[in-house]
Amino acid sequence: MKKTFADYKADGAKWITLATGEYYPDILPSARELYKPVLVMFGQLLKTSESSERLLRQIGETPDGWMRVQLNRVFRKYVSPSTPVEMLKVKSKIDYIITEFGREFRPIQEVQSAFDSRPMPDEALCAILWEYKDRGKKGYDLTERFFEMVRSRFSTLKIEGPERAGQDVLMKTVFSDYPNPTRPVDFVIRDKKSNEVLAIGLARYDSDRGGAQEDDRTGQYKTAIDEILRYSHSRNLRAKVVLLNDGPGLLLGSMWRDYVTLENSYRDEVLVLTLRMIPERLSLKWLQTKRNK
């Protein structure tokens, strides 16, 4: 009998892949060098702004995209910690942010005083900003290594999608008549000769996860799986779903059990994997076998 994801739970720590990290305080020299120009520019904009609202508008006018994102992160720390991070990244949202969150902005005089009370560069803030720098890198490493393993093990298959950073695959590019065309997925596995879709994949690296995040993640996965398999069944396709998940977060809370439930709920049409499970679990036979009606 083929092992299920549940069968790996007893020694789950042996089946996850740990991403490398960086040590504190070793990061501080690099963090100071990278973010000092950001803090210098923030200080310049702060001095030429008569209000916190004006400061935000001036940040929005910064032409360099990377610098604008960093300035917005500093703005959030000093001026408006309740403003959503992703909203601050969108220049067209500035008026909305001021209308909805402006009443909670710290007054510009207090911002100036707080900023001046810190050294230049502020090592503590540089370290916080450094945490954003590699956000997503572990996920990129995961998908890159998965792509390499699929290509090396299955010469008759091809795998598509962003191997590292890049736009998600939208289902309208996989199936032209897919009912939810903007559904994002992480990779698609096809038969190289026929171009037939054999699997749709979702990938995540979990460094740390728990509580409501667990329910949110698996709930989103279930919605996506239901939708993808419903389409596959309606067209009598082979397309199945691969959930590539890795990292120590799988060992926390109910995550492992939740993935077991997902895999067991779909009668061999969903496969949950870590990188170390690929040799044992991901087979050409599973990918090519059509479901029994």
> What does each of the 293 residues of the chain score in pLDDT, given as a tens digit?
578 999 999 999 999 887 667 788 999 999 999 999 999 999 999 999 999 999 999 999 999 988 999 999 999 999 999 898 888 888 889 999 999 999 999 999 999 999 999 999 999 999 999 988 866 667 678 888 999 999 999 999 999 998 877 788 999 999 999 999 999 999 999 999 999 999 999 998 887 654 445 556 678 899 999 999 999 999 999 999 999 998 888 888 788 999 999 999 998 899 999 999 999 999 999 999 887 66
For residue 202, the SS3 value is: strand
Reference 289, options 191, 161, 159; nearest CA is 191
Are the C-beta atoms of 192 and 160 separated by less than 8 Å? no
How far apart are alpha carbons 186 and 168 in whole angstroms?
6
Residue-range domain boundaries for the chain: 5-17+136-288, 28-133
Give the domain 5-17+136-288 fold.
ECO RI Endonuclease; Chain A (3.40.580)
How far apart are alpha carbons 225 and 220 in whole angstroms?
9
Q: Cα torsion for 28, 30, 32, 33, to the nearest 10°?
A: 170
Q: What are 19's two structure tokens? A: 């991403």
Q: What are 198's two structure tokens? A: 């054999």
User: In this structure, how many other beta carbons lie within 10 angstroms of the beta carbon of residue 137?
Assistant: 15
Are the C-beta atoms of 60 and 45 separated by less than 8 Å? no
Q: Which residues contact 248 (CB under 8 A, 6 or more apart)?
A: 16, 18, 206, 207, 208
